[in-house]
C-alpha cells in the first residue's frame, strides 16, 4: 500500500523513529548492567503491562501509516480525475492530431485536435473534471465550450449544436456538457476536441491513452509523466 501511495523511504523511516522514541524503555536496553537473576514476585504482571503498552504504540503507528497512505492514494486519484483522459464521444476517432489536407481549401494545414464524427445531438462528455471558462460562439470553432482542469490544462469542445453548462459551473468527469453539431468551420456533424497545455494545443490522444490506467486505479509507471508543452501553431 505504501508503494502504491508513493510514500518515500524517508517518510516511513520517520514513522519508525517516532515509534521507537515513544516506546517504553526496557530494563535490558538501559545500558551495561549485571547481577543475579531475581524473578519478579508479581508473576510477570509488570512485563505484561509493558507489552500491552508496546502493542498500543505499534497499533497507533500502523494506523498513522495507513491514514497517510490512504490520504496519498486519494490525492493521486483526485489529481488523475482532473486529467482529460476519457473520450468525449464514444465513437472512433476520425481526423487525428497533425498535418492533413484542409477539407475547405485543399492545402496542407495543422489539425490541432481529434475529430469524432457523430449524429447531431449526440452527447458530449467532459474528458475530466473542472470548471467551465467559456461557452459561446467562437469563430471557426462554432458553438464551443472550454473547461479548465487546473495545472494549465484546458479542453475545448467545438462545433456543438447545444451547450448544456454555463461559465463558472463545476463539471465532473464524464458529465454530459454539450451535444454534437456542425457549427462554425465544419463540413458535417462532429466534435472537434482539443487539449491545451499553457495555451498550446497538444495531441489529445496522448492524454486519452492514460484513461485505461486511471480507470483501473493504477499508479503511473516509474518515470511516466504527462505530455510536456509543445510548440505548434494554432489551427483547427
The predicted-structure confidence for 142-181, as pLDDT tens digits, reads as follows 999 999 999 899 999 999 999 999 999 999 999 999 999 9
Residue 92 C-alpha cell reads as 472512433
Residue 123 C-alpha cell reads as 452527447
Shared domain for 59 and 102, answered yes or no, is: no
Residue 120 lies in a domain: yes
Q: CB-based contacts of 209: which residues, under 8 Å, 6+ apart?
A: none
Q: Which of 205, 82, 93, 96 is nearest to 148 (CA)?
A: 82
What DSSP assignment string belongs to 144-203?
A: EEEEEEETTEEEEEEEESEE---TT-EE-TT-EEEE-B--SS-SSSEEEEEEEETTEEE-
Owning domain of residue 190: 98-215
What DSSP character marks residue 112? -
The CATH number of the domain holding residue 200 is 2.70.70.10
Question: What's the pLDDT score for residue 2?
Answer: 58
Shared domain for 110 and 188, answered yes or no, is: yes
Shared domain for 110 and 66, answered yes or no, is: no
Shared domain for 102 and 210, answered yes or no, is: yes
Q: Which of 219, 213, 217, 212 is nearest to 2 (CA)?
A: 219
Shared domain for 16 and 116, answered yes or no, is: no
> Looking up cell 490506467, which residue turns up?
213
CA distance 168 to 68: 33
Residue 88 lies in a domain: no
Look at the chain and report how many structural domains it folds into.
2
Shared domain for 21 and 129, answered yes or no, is: no
Question: What's the pLDDT score for residue 99?
Answer: 87
The parts of the chain modelled with pLDDT lower than 50 are 25-26, 75, 221-222, 224, 229-236
According to the 3-state scheme, what is the secondary structure of 54-87? HHHHHHHHHHHHHHHHHHHHHHHHHHHHCCCCCC
Question: What's the pLDDT score for residue 236?
Answer: 41
pTM (two decimals): 0.61
Q: In what order do the strands lie in the sheet with 162-163?
A: 123-125, 176-179, 162-163
Question: What's the pLDDT score for residue 137?
Answer: 95
Residue 32 lies in a domain: no
Amino acid at each position: 500500500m505504501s508503494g502504491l501511495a508513493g510514500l518515500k523511504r524517508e517518510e516511513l523511516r520517520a514513522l519508525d523513529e517516532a515509534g521507537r522514541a515513544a516506546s517504553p524503555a526496557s530494563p535490558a536496553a538501559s545500558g551495561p548492567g549485571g547481577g543475579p537473576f531475581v524473578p519478579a514476585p508479581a508473576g510477570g504482571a509488570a512485563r505484561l503491562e509493558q507489552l500491552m503498552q508496546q502493542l498500543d504504540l505499534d497499533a497507533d503507528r500502523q494506523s498513522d501509516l495507513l491514514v497517510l497512505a490512504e490520504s496519498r492514494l486519494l490525492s493521486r486519484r483526485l489529481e488523475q480525475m482532473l486529467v482529460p483522459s476519457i473520450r468525449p464521444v464514444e465513437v472512433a476517432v476520425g481526423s487525428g492530431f497533425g498535418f492533413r489536407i484542409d477539407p475547405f481549401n485543399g492545402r496542407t494545414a495543422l489539425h490541432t485536435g481529434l475529430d469524432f464524427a457523430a449524429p447531431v445531438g449526440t452527447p458530449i462528455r467532459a474528458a475530466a473534471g473542472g470548471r467551465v471558462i467559456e461557452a459561446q460562439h467562437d469563430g471557426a470553432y462554432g458553438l464551443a465550450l472550454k473547461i479548465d482542469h487546473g495545472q494549465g490544462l484546458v479542453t475545448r469542445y467545438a462545433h456543438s449544436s447545444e451547450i448544456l453548462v454555463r461559465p463558472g459551473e463545476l463539471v465532473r468527469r464524464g458529465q454530459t456538457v454539450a451535444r454534437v453539431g456542425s457549427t462554425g468551420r465544419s463540413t458535417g456533424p462532429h466534435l472537434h476536441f482539443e487539449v491545451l497545455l499553457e495555451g498550446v494545443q497538444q495531441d489529445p490522444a496522448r492524454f486519452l491513452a492514460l484513461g485505461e490506467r486511471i480507470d483501473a486505479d493504477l499508479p503511473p509507471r516509474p518515470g511516466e509523466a504527462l505530455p510536456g508543452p509543445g510548440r505548434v501553431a494554432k489551427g483547427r
